[in-house]
Structure 1
Amino acid sequence: MQLKAIDVGFGYQKNSWTFRNLQLAIGKGEIVGLVGPSGAGKTTFGRILAGYEKPLEGMVTLNDSPLPTTGYHPVQLVFQHPEKAVNPKWRMLKILHEGWDPDDELLERLGIEKEWLHRWPNELSGGELQRFCVARALGPKTQFLIADEMTTMLDSITQAQIWQVVLDIAQKRNIGILVISHEAPLIERLCSRIVDISNN
């Protein structure tokens, strides 16, 4: 069971490629790191893997089939900027339940306070919003998680706590993870394999 990128290429301008011929395979339960300089297309590649963008060439498959286009998506993306991933017209409770209904234990482990559930997104800090995005991405049907600079808005102690929760759940449920980060120590600590996008 794998998430695969096969000869994937993308560019925002005609005749100008951000990357081409990208190959990647992530197995269930595997943690892979994605590194490269700013502008190399790491975030765009993550969006393609999660179905938010379509590649200009190549394809992404899940278990050797095209990515699904309806229902709860088995490849979940946690954006670097959580304010762009939530509906500003919804309270946090509705946002959280958009995909599934997390239990109180998970919310507590992620440091989400119950009073936050009734707030609007603009009433929370970036770090608080990011906790909700992590919880929302860990639905029971999630098979792969794309973590794009997932904890950059949190202090180092909270980062470690959030990652421990994610890793515990991933291990129990055999979720594959792609870690996109500029933080070399984080990548080296978490990942069994590292892919450098700067060579494409």
Structure 2
Amino acid sequence: MIRYLRGRVLGKEAEGFSLLVGGMGFFLQAPAPFLGALREGEEVEVHTHLQVREDGLFLYGFPDGESLRLFELLLSVSGVAPKEALSLLSTLPPRLLAQALAEGDARLLASASGVGKRLAERIALELKGKVPPHLLGEKAESEAALEAVMALAALGFKEAQARAVVLDLLAKNPKAKAQELIKEALKRLR
């Protein structure tokens, strides 16, 4: 099992990237935020999951162990393939995804591309309460965050998208007021 690689990024494609490790090139599929942050030629450390199927070997790469554990937790649900698990990790930040899984928030899970209502409900049902506490961290939402999300939803943005942006902003500035969160979120969402 390949669990970790460190190497130089050779190039990126729509669904993954090539990594040069000790003279060998590996192709890894990855969540969109991680893939977007990679730069050709840079040295990176990648936590990996190797899937062996009859049609080939597939390697998936993540920026941290937390994202890898969430990916593997999602794969434990019947009907969840790597494509859907990557979509969830691409749509929702890891802490928000862990929180949604722990609370059984099917509506938020269904906001990911390729994850329909039925699959989201199955994931929520099977994983509710099964998320390890270390993946959850502190409760991510505050009153300011809830107010900001509701305001952005009222302005016509998707609630899941607004929540993801607001929680990311809140992680960088935990003492931010609702007005600050709304202002910064609008810059990102436009």
- Structure 1 length as normaliser, TM-score? 0.27
Quick one: higher RCO (CA 8 Å, sep 6+), 1 or 2? 1
Asked which structure has the greater CA Rg, the reply is 2
* More helix per residue: 2
TM-score, normalised on structure 2? 0.28
